[in-house]
Amino acid sequence: MAKKYKIVYNRTDCIGAGACATIYSQRWVMNSSDDRADLVGGKKVGSDPETWEVEFTEEELQSFLESAKVCPVEVIHIYELETGKKVC
């Protein structure tokens, strides 16, 4: 079975640099109301800080890894779903 992963995105600390949306526009979209990135398909799991999560499979791992690595404030983190191990 394909491995599954989870993105945990701390939207509160996003500074709106837009790098994630440039790298992976299918999943990161800039929200013009507050200039922060929205995680397409993600669900909000907290309010303070506002945290968004989405589960995904191996096919998206590379694109999500790249978008996490270019984020200047490191608010995008990836975990293996089954083990909880942090990937980045």
Q: Which residues bind ligand SF4 (CB under 6 A)?
A: 14-20, 28, 37, 71-73, 75-76
Nearer to ligand SF4, 3 or 31 (CB): 31
Query: What is the smallest separation between the CB atom of 76 and ligand SF4, expressed in angstroms?
Result: 6
- CB of 36 vs ligand SF4, minimal distance in Å: 6
Of the two residues 5 and 42, which places its CB atom closer to ligand SF4 in the complex?
Answer: 42
**What minimum distance in Å lies between the beta carbon of 14 and ligand SF4?**
3
State how far the alpha carbon of 13 is from the alpha carbons of 34, 38, 58, 87, in Å. Answer: 12, 12, 27, 20
- The nearer residue to ligand SF4, 25 or 57, going by C-beta atoms, is 25
**Other C-beta atoms within 10 Å of 33: how many?**
6
Closest to 77 in 3D by CA, of 39, 41, 48, 47: 39
Instruction: Look at strands 28-31 and 36-39 and give their pairing.
Output: antiparallel
